[in-house]
Structure 1
Amino acid sequence: MTVAQPWVEKYRPRNVDEVAHQEEVVSTLKRSLETANLPHLLFYGPPGTGKTSTALAIARQLYGPELMKTRVMELNASDERGINVVRKKVKSFAAAAVGAPAAGYPCPPYKLLILDEADSMTQDAQNALRRTMEQYSKVTRFCFICNYVSRIIEPLASRCAKFRFRPLHQGVMRDRIEFICARESVSLDPEAFQLLASISGGDLRKAVTTLQSAVRLSGGSVDRQSILDVSGEIPQAAITRLLAACRSGVFDNVQQQVTDLIAEGYPAQQVLLQLQAEVLAAPDAPDAPDAVPARPRALVCEALAQCDKALQDGADEFLQLLHVGAQVQRALAAA
């Protein structure tokens, strides 16, 4: 069994046809590749749905693995997102002359500049790109990749052909995971796959990485507990106990459950995600057991959102979970 190479790289699509579950994107790009006349591109959608893989597959099909090294530049805009990067790296690459083509590949007379996580770029940097795109469009095509298209300024977005990448449903994910398991001689329990699909939430990269970590932990046979151990997922029983403590009306119970969660090292944001799922899955009929009516449910979701914002701003996890526990307890007491 080979584990020296990350599986997300080992099984990354090598051409556009291998990209999973993005039929509209693939069919449109294939027609563009046939003519070797790409527009500027804007790929957007959730993480792990194939955006970067598609951009690299396009580059490989256009230039081949060797010419890619000189004709393609990939920048991660979350690391290099200021206006100086646009003025120096981007502009110097965009302005450079196109070299000789490689035999056996279309090698159109332009280079490809891939800007990953472009929604992290500052407004000044995005504005500076407008003129660069116009000035060097004959020798350079731009490919912007982002999770949130609303964070790309309209003048940039309007210059690009937009492609939306959808989260992968369980059927597509199952096919890919089974293919990898067969190639790596891994036995994956059906319950383990269900948990893997639930944890990943349509993110194939996360699913493959979690699977490889579970294989390293347990060997060639992966069960549900192995997935749970490496995923960072909190046991459902712990979330159920926290919600039961909130229902009890006794704050000491809530404090004890929060203390236990923090002592186990569980991340607070994961607690919020699973607590939200538990509350939303509860029945809302007043006569149902463990019901959470509509108004308390809305108050709980509001409290979770405020806590998440505070955690993003660097607040203390223990205090924030105590606060959200008190808010949930108050909302449920008023039901």
Structure 2
Amino acid sequence: MAPVLQSSQPWVEKYRPRQVKDVAHQDEVVRVLTNTLETTNCPHMLFYGPPGTGKTTTALAIAHQLFGPELYKSRVLELNASDDRGINVVRTKIKNFAAVAVGSARHGGYPCPPYKIIILDEADSMTEDAQACLMPCGAPWRHTQKLQDSSSFVITSAGIIGMGMSLITGPIIEPLASRCAKFRFKPLTEEIMSSRILYISKEEGLNLDSEALSTLSAISQGDLRRAITYLQSAARLFGSSISSKDLISVSGVIPGDVVQALFSACRNGNFDMADKEVKNVIAEGYPVSQMLSQLYDVIVESDDISDEQKARICKKFAEADKCLVDGADEYLQLLDVASNIMRAISNMPQECSFGS
């Protein structure tokens, strides 16, 4: 079947919720922010949680609901902190944007409060010096404290935010996190994701069977943005009827039978067969880091492997993943993992590992 002619607009943007109340599965966040919008008293906010759960969408919705389309560009500054991450960005873009005072007057039915909004997306990628400059004692506020009250920051982060002495802020420094109202975004359930995907499929005239829908939820791992992107890619390549196999091919996920073949060879203690399966993975061009991730799921869900054996295997997964990040040979690392799985399952003593 020929691919369906699709609009060039990404579906992630096309179906992005425009109002805070439409953000899915974040009931507590939506309830608090709805009250905030009614009073227009917007504090500095820190949104944290897994990717694809609505952090950026919520930040954009707040800005649109406060200022409307006409004043949005003059009142809202969007920065992707993974790109604009240095201290000079804070000292130039943010300082210059916040320096211009604005008044308070309703415009076109929107409240338009007397401050601006600065959205720092993926702020966990910013350097510590740049984050320190965002605080009142930092460089942008050194000469005048009035700038502190002229803008409200909305910061998004995929890291975990801790409280008090049990600090686990990840790359977000505690002095910055403590100045923000924190909002945790929960991972989306399979039911919520399936509902949204079915809605988009209906709007775009796509046919998804229950197996394809389940596969899409599994490979996207709770990331709705990723699921929508996979769906659009499959629609462009395969047309309106999309199968589970089509979704796997566009996602880069290794087919389950390939993973099971390697695991079965390790379970049977057949080194030659395991080596053959490892070579097949490398020859097919599958990323070994992805194979480790999927092997991890298989190992953890196996009922006939003891917790001690799982711990030994998972420890090796971590070591191999670190070696891959450092540039180690993929074939040697995957073969090393396979041999360690065989030793752990057979309860053989640990031996030296393959070098990188």
Whole-Å separation in 1 of the counterparts to 2:322 and 2:103? 49
Which of 127, 131, 144 is the matching residue for 2:132? 127
User: 1:213-269 deviations in whole A, cap 9, x for unaligned?
Assistant: 111122111111111211111111111111122223343322211111111111111
User: Is 64-73 or 28-37 further displaced after alignment?
Assistant: 64-73
Which of 314, 325, 331 is the matching residue for 2:344? 331
Q: Once the 2 structures are TM-superposed, how far is the Cα of residue 100 of structure 1 from its aligned partner?
A: 7.5
Query: Is 1:281–2:293 an aligned residue pair?
Result: no
Alignment of 1:245-256 (within 5 A): 245-256=265-276
User: 1:99-137 deviations in whole A, cap 9, x for unaligned?
Assistant: 675332111000000111111111111112112587323
User: 1:270-313 deviations in whole A, cap 9, x for unaligned?
Assistant: 10111001111111xxxxxxx21221110011111111222233
Q: CA RMSD in A?
A: 1.6
Q: Report the count of equivalent residues.
A: 328
Amino acid at match of 1:139: S
Which of 325, 329, 333 is the matching residue for 1:312? 325
Whole-Å separation in 2 of the counterparts to 1:99 and 1:253? 72
Amino acid at match of 1:300: I
Moved over 4 A (4+): none
Amino acid at match of 1:188: L
Q: CA 1:69–1:218 in 2, change beyond 3 Å: closer, same or farther?
A: same
Q: Provide the residue aligned with 1:287 in structure 2.
A: none
Alignment of 1:1-335 (within 5 A): 2-98=6-102, 102-131=107-136, 132=138, 135=145, 136-148=147-159, 149=161, 150-151=169-170, 152-283=172-303, 291-334=304-347
Amino acid at match of 1:166: K
TM-score by length of 2: 0.88
Q: Which runs of 5+ in 1 are unaligned?
A: 284-290
Q: Which runs of 5+ in 2 are unaligned?
A: 162-168, 349-356
Instruction: Tell me the SS of whatever aligns to 1:114.
Output: strand
Q: For the Cα contact (< 8 Å) 2:48–2:156, is it kept in 1?
A: yes
| Sequence identity percentage | 54
Q: Once the 2 structures are TM-superposed, how far is the Cα of residue 38 of structure 1 from its aligned partner?
A: 0.4
Q: Provide the residue aligned with 2:353 in structure 1.
A: none
Amino acid at match of 1:328: I
Amino acid at match of 1:302: K
Q: Provide the residue aligned with 1:286 in structure 2.
A: none
TM-score by length of 1: 0.93
Whole-Å separation in 2 of the counterparts to 1:297 and 1:190? 32
Q: Provide the residue aligned with 2:166 in structure 1.
A: none
Instruction: Tell me the SS of whatever aligns to 2:98.
Output: helix
Instruction: Tell me the SS of whatever aligns to 1:137.
Output: helix
Q: CA 1:39–1:326 in 2, change beyond 3 Å: closer, same or farther?
A: same
Q: CA 1:31–1:300 in 2, change beyond 3 Å: closer, same or farther?
A: same
User: 1:145-178 deviations in whole A, cap 9, x for unaligned?
Assistant: 0000312111111110000001110111121111
Greater fraction of residues in helix = 1
Q: Once the 2 structures are TM-superposed, how far is the Cα of residue 84 of structure 1 from its aligned partner?
A: 1.7
Instruction: Tell me the SS of whatever aligns to 2:253.
Output: coil
